[in-house]
Chains A and B, each alone.
Chain A
């Protein structure tokens, strides 16, 4: 117990920084400190601190990796997209709207696939995007998705693009700020179909 206290309060003296460069520089020492100072809570396990190939590359190159590497990684990421077995990409836009509004899930007190309140995980979409016209409290980190289908057309290619982008945003832009909702297991296939419908169903308020 006492040892732990000492480690927490005086631990830094033992870890020396190597010469880090930019933000993308060596983060070996910072990572070691984080691994010491973070503790798992429920579904938020310690392996979440480990970077996968995409995260490591984006970190290393300040979100701007060389084109050849970016292309290679994007191809790999695209290959992770699991397409619905029934071949249908459009679900129910009404349910999609709810998923887009909800910002909970995947954090300390949440359950696998569910929020701490027992609702299905949300997609947090409105946190970053303008989507339906009724919601004015939308974020601006991502581009506006208002009239997504109306502007791009409702064809199968755009449907596939929308579904795959939600499933794995890194398939199109490897250091995108958008989470990989299918790849990370945040959203279910049905939820991603519902979100695709929100963007692509001609009847969705998004396309009015």
Chain B
């Protein structure tokens, strides 16, 4: 009965001025997921890591026993509010574009004295351990909740990053001939029951950024975009991208710029 109503609603709006909204409600399964995703987001375990990340940011740590409060996320030394929504961006001190987590890792190395090799050894969360950069990224991301995504595209290197990121997104290779676009360059498709938003289109690109860092229901762990993209390459049957590498920052630039101007809700919940 309810299903019939939903379908009727969709039919009424299919020819309306909001094709995107229609595409989202078309699938009753997706509609059910959306409804309960909102319930889950109301109390998101991600908040536990926001608290932890804030502590890690503010407490002296690492071999140098200093906090990260001098870390420049692009808006000046120590400014966290709004920084995530404007990343990836170009950093003159490293001569390249960095996403939030890559920048945090950079600060942990340069300010706190950590070694990249140590941070990159097991950079992703497991059931029993959440690496510090993941918690810190969650905290930093939460400080941009409700803000419009505005990754900077003013510097030539930022424009170049977008172009290169786009090429990486569309690069078909590997034993299964996959590019990112094979799954995420199509409209209104799903894998199993999971919707696959088209990240190449501004209307649907937000889904590539929204909800990350995210509390992932599978395994009950906190993951950032670094993990998401890395694991996509695993599923793509590619070799493994280095943690916090430039390739990942470039790909994130492509995705985030496509979603520019849309509101970022902060850390989310993911399947």
A residues with CB within 8 A of B: 1, 4-5, 8-13, 16-17, 20, 23-27, 29-31, 33-34, 36-41, 44-46, 48-51, 54-55, 58-59, 62, 106-108, 126-128, 137-141, 170, 177, 179-180, 184-186
Contacts and interface: CB of A to CB of B under 8 A. Distances in A.
B182 interface: yes
Given A54-B177, A127-B192, 19 more contacts: A8-B116, A8-B245, A8-B246, A9-B244, A23-B166, A27-B171, A39-B241, A49-B174, A49-B239, A55-B177, A59-B179, A107-B235, A126-B192, A127-B191, A139-B192, A141-B196, A170-B177, A180-B177, A184-B176
Nearest to A142: B189
Contact of A140 (B166, B172, B189): B189
Interface of B: 94-97, 102, 105-106, 109, 115-117, 157, 160-161, 163-164, 166-179, 181-183, 186, 188-193, 196, 200, 233-235, 237-242, 244-248, 250
A14 to B, nearest CB: 8
A23 B106 contact: no
26 contacts: A8-B116, A8-B244, A12-B157, A13-B96, A16-B160, A20-B166, A23-B181, A23-B200, A30-B164, A37-B247, A38-B233, A38-B240, A38-B241, A39-B239, A48-B173, A48-B175, A48-B237, A59-B171, A59-B179, A127-B192, A128-B191, A139-B192, A141-B183, A170-B177, A179-B176, A179-B177
Contacts of A37: 241-242, 245-248
Contacts of B233: 38
Top 8 closest pairs, chain A to chain B, by CB: A12-B96, A13-B95, A23-B170, A30-B167, A179-B176, A37-B247, A37-B245, A184-B175
B192 A33 contact: no
Given A33-B247, A39-B242, A48-B175, A17 B164 contact: yes
A44 B239 contact: yes
Nearest to A16: B160
A177 B183 CA distance: 9
Contacts of B238: 38, 44, 48-49
A23 B234 contact: no
Contacts of A31: 167, 171
Interface of B, helix, strand, loop or mixed by DSSP: mixed
A54 to B, nearest CB: 7
Contact of B239 (A11, A27, A46, A54): A46
A172 to B, nearest CB: 14
Q: A37, A62, A179 — which one has the most chain B CB atoms within 10 A of its CB?
A: A37
A190 B177 CA distance: 23
B94 A10 contact: yes
